[in-house]
Amino acid sequence: MTIQEPANVALAGIPAPGLAFVILVAALCLFAYIMNRRIDLLRKAMPDPRFDDIGERIRLALVYGFGQWKQPRYLVGGIIHILLFAGFMILSLRSLTLIGRGFSAEFNLPGLTGSVGMAYEVLKDYAVLMVLVVCIVAIIRRAVFKPARYAHAPGQGHEAEAYVILGMVSALMLTDMIYDGSHLAATGHTDAGLLPAATVASLFMAGSSPAALNALHIGGYWAHILIFFGFLNYLPMSKHFHVITAIPNVFFANVDKGRIKPVRHGVDEWMDLDECGITRFESFTWKHVLDFYSCADCGRCTDNCPANAVGRSLSPRMISIKARDYAYKYYPVFGTAPDPGDIKFVGDVITESEIWACTTCGACENECPILIEYIDKIVDMRRYLVDQGQVPQSLQKPMQAIKKKGNAYGGAKGKRAAWTKELDGIEVKELKAGDATDLLFFVDSCGSFDPRIQELSRSLARILAKSSTDFGILGQDETDSGNEIRRLGEEGLFEQLAQKNIAAFQDRQFKEIVAFDPHAFNAIKNDYPERFPIVHASQVIDRLIKAGRIRLSSDYLAGRVVTYHDPCYLGRHNQIYYEPRQVIQAVPGVRFRDMERSFDRSFCCSGGGVMLWYESEEEKERMGERRVRMAEQIGAQVIVTGCPFCLINLEDAVKTTGNEGKIEVIDLVELVDRSLV
């Protein structure tokens, strides 16, 4: 029995190739129009030079795009996605082939003929079956098992779209199976081993009349073509735009980790601009708009957001979704744009409490499978609020103190080195302009003025003295590093602070800067416009231990179970995970355990620097309390951290969770100081 091929059958009197041509041209024209409208907003948005470092960008696209590297961080969802993605990759060639078969029954893509073509037929048939099964599993998972991270507040999500997409993909697979299965049924060449999908379909058609098989073959074909083009045009209208934009989004991802974007790329005299920050939607950079387009609403960012976890209104994914909704509404593909009237993007669409709730810990960005950025957007929105004078009262005082006195504590400049007075027998050099030293110890405001953190300054000084390291401090000439000032959106003040410290650095000679505060470390390393060699205290200590210049004893830890809390600005923002752990491991016989959330999944303690002053009215518990409970779960008796603000937050949390006397929080420099032999 023979079967008629779609290309040879006229429909309603129109020859198939003509029909295929009309559909192809119409669908592509529509797609081009839609994409052009979407890209139009990117063109209106702010510049961002993302064409540098092409090698790294290709690597990102290969690893995170095609390699789906982050997907398995959520195992079930990740595997489902990888299978779907692999299926799509394989079936993209099939789709092109099928489009061609509307023009000619014998059409095959160049290279996909002969035995290669046969092999591809088999591969694609397995892929069709796999994608169909995966879609059904995904539908069941969403509808029945309802993973919490997919949930939305009423009226805020686009849950239904997920089913539309899964339904369309399933329909694409089914129509392909009908098209191939009817052919198999007609010719009788079933082969479950080689063509499982087509064979399964053919079994359902067993005993059908030749006319019915013909109709199925031709109907399945055209249905497939129509659904395919419908799908293509639906993507840029929905939350599944990521199918198109994800790979470009990964390719154009931020390659400057830890650094905040300038107010406007390519503008040094930003103070003279009319606008600062996100005054309107088009103030976002084109890449940030592409991020909004690309969010797949998978919820991983929010699931890892510490602010969200404790009840603050911030949800990173809702920033993307609300922004995309805004973009789709006010920059529509069809029709005229409605007037937003008094609705302000910053303030009404994204509220002030969402914007200030962020600790800039970076957990969201780190988790996003397609490398969507959030911190720069939050900072740009804060820049607008700061420019309008809208800053929470709890943050204003420390920020003004930094502006007037160079530190958030209101301490007098002359007292910056006062902490050194309580060091027995150790003289800390206050370096004057022109002085030289090996290691310049950048103490920062917290180490200079906070009584608890001054202890860390003294600990590091003792360690350096014990190891006969030549070091000195800036004393009065040091000012706040500005890490949080920049992240709170006060760019003008950040520039002043950076310039003061840069001038102080340039006036002295040193081999390296050391800081025990990861925030200061990050600002100097990544944000300052001039580059200086800088290391974190954990790196210096690790080197000293390896060089045999200091030795640790087990006396202080005395067999207690120790865990390490990765500070955000040491770990996620600067990838320093191993040195602090190596230092802890240098204590003889140490009983070390990592918490479940460790390394790049560490859980923020609620923010450092000026963020320490921020009072959230929304949170139900402190982030630090959550973190201490995580340490409690693994039976830790000592939490070592590498950040003075983590220390303060976690020490408080130990008290408020009733763990005083049971769990000790200690900074790495203190642990080393107390364990010195």
Partner 1 sequence: MDIIVCMKWTPDTSEADLTVDKEGKDIRKDDLDFDMNDWDRFAIEEAVQLKEKVGGKVTAVAVAPEDAEGMLRECLARGADEAYQLWDDAFEGSDGYAVAAILAKFIKDRPHDLVLTGTLADDDCGGQIGGMVAAMLDIPGSTLVSKIQISDGKLTCHRELEGGLYESIEMDLPAVLSVATGLNEPRFVSVRAVRKVAALEIPTLELGDLGLEASAVGSDGSRIRIELMELPPEGEGAEIITGKAEEAAAKLAEILKEKGGIGS
Contact set with partner 1 (CB under 8 A): 271, 276, 386-391, 393, 396, 399-400, 403-405, 409-412, 414, 490-493, 495-496
Compute the least distance from the CB of residue 613 to partner 1, in Å.
13
- Give the shortest CB-386-to-partner 1 separation in angstroms: 5
Q: Specify the residue, 325 or 495, whose C-beta has the smaller distance to partner 1.
A: 495
Distance CA 549, CA 65 (A): 45
Cβ proximity to partner 1, 106 vs 660, nearer residue: 660
> Per-residue b/e over 595-627, b at no fewer than 16 CB within 10 Å?
bebbebbbbbbbbbbbbbbbebeebeebbbbbb
Please identify which residue in the block is written with the tokens 């290669």.
116
Minimum gap (Å) between residue 277 Cβ and partner 1: 10
Cβ distance to partner 1 smaller for residue 386 or 443: 386
Q: How far is the CB of 480 from partner 1 (least distance, A)?
A: 14
H-helix segments, 344-450 = 352-357, 363-367, 375-387, 393-405, 444-449
What minimum distance in Å lies between the beta carbon of 631 and partner 1? 23
CB of 416 to partner 1, least distance (A): 13
Residue 231: in which H helix or E strand, if any? helix 210-234
Rounded CA separation 280/345 (Å): 6
332 and 41 in contact (C-beta within 8 Å)?
no
The minimum distance between CB 310 and partner 1, in angstroms, equals 24
Q: Give me 25's structure tokens.
A: 């041209």
Task: Judge whether 381 and 346 are in contact, CB under 8 Å.
Answer: yes
Helix axes 451-466, 644-656, angle to 10 degrees: 130
Nearer to partner 1, 229 or 409 (CB): 409
Q: What sign has the CA pseudo-torsion 202, 205, 207, 208?
A: negative
Q: Distance (Å, rounded) from C-alpha 463 to C-alpha 479? A: 24
Pick the closer one to partner 1 by CB: 391 or 638. Answer: 391
Nearer to partner 1, 134 or 399 (CB): 399
Distance (Å, whole) CA 368 – CA 299: 9
For 230, the enclosing helix (H) or strand (E) is helix 210-234
Please state the closest distance from residue 456 (CB atom) to partner 1, in A.
21
Q: Shortest gap between Cβ of 422 and partner 1 (angstroms)? A: 17
> Do 277 and 263 touch, CB atoms closer than 8 A?
yes
Find out whether 295 and 249 touch, Cβ atoms under 8 Å: no
Cβ closest to partner 1, residue 276 vs residue 544: 276
* Core vs surface per residue 80-92: b (16+ CB within 10 A) or e: bbebbbbbeebbe
Q: In the complex, what is the shortest distance from the CB of residue 491 to partner 1, in angstroms, rounded to a whole number?
A: 8
Name 600's Cβ contacts closer than 8 Å, sequence gap at least 6: 366, 566, 571, 572, 577
Distances (CA, A) of 377 to 292, 360, 387: 11, 11, 15
Nearer to partner 1, 104 or 496 (CB): 496
For partner 1, the closer CB: 64 or 384:
384
C-beta of 380 vs 490, nearer to partner 1: 490
Minimum distance, C-beta of residue 455 to partner 1, in the bound complex (Å): 19
Task: Output 387 or 507, the one with its CB closest to partner 1.
Answer: 387
Query: What SS3 class is residue 83?
Result: helix
Report the residue number, 238 or 353, with the smaller CB distance to partner 1: 353
Min dist CB 67 to partner 1, Å, is 43
Return all residues near 131 (Cβ < 8 A) that are at least 6 apart.
83, 84, 87, 88, 91, 169, 173
Cβ proximity to partner 1, 415 vs 601, nearer residue: 415
Contacts 24+ apart (CB under 8 A), 59-62: 60/250, 60/251, 60/253, 60/255, 60/371, 61/247, 61/250, 61/251
Which amino acid appears at position 513 of this protein?
A: I
Least CB distance from residue 392 to partner 1, whole Å? 9
Q: How far is the CB of 363 from partner 1 (least distance, A)?
A: 27
Residue 376 or 490: which CB sits closer to partner 1? 490
The distance of closest approach from Cβ of residue 484 to partner 1 in the complex, given in angstroms and rounded to an integer, is 14
DSSP β-ladder status, 591-592 and 561-565: parallel
List helix spans (H) across 295-441: 300-304, 306-309, 316-330, 352-357, 363-367, 375-387, 393-405
Q: Which is nearer to partner 1, 408 or 669 (CB)?
A: 408
608, 484 contact by CB (below 8 A): yes
- Using DSSP's 3-state secondary structure scheme, residue 334 falls into coil
Q: In terms of CB distance, is 156 or 388 closer to partner 1?
A: 388
Q: What are the helix (H) ranges across 235-333?
A: 242-251, 286-294, 300-304, 306-309, 316-330
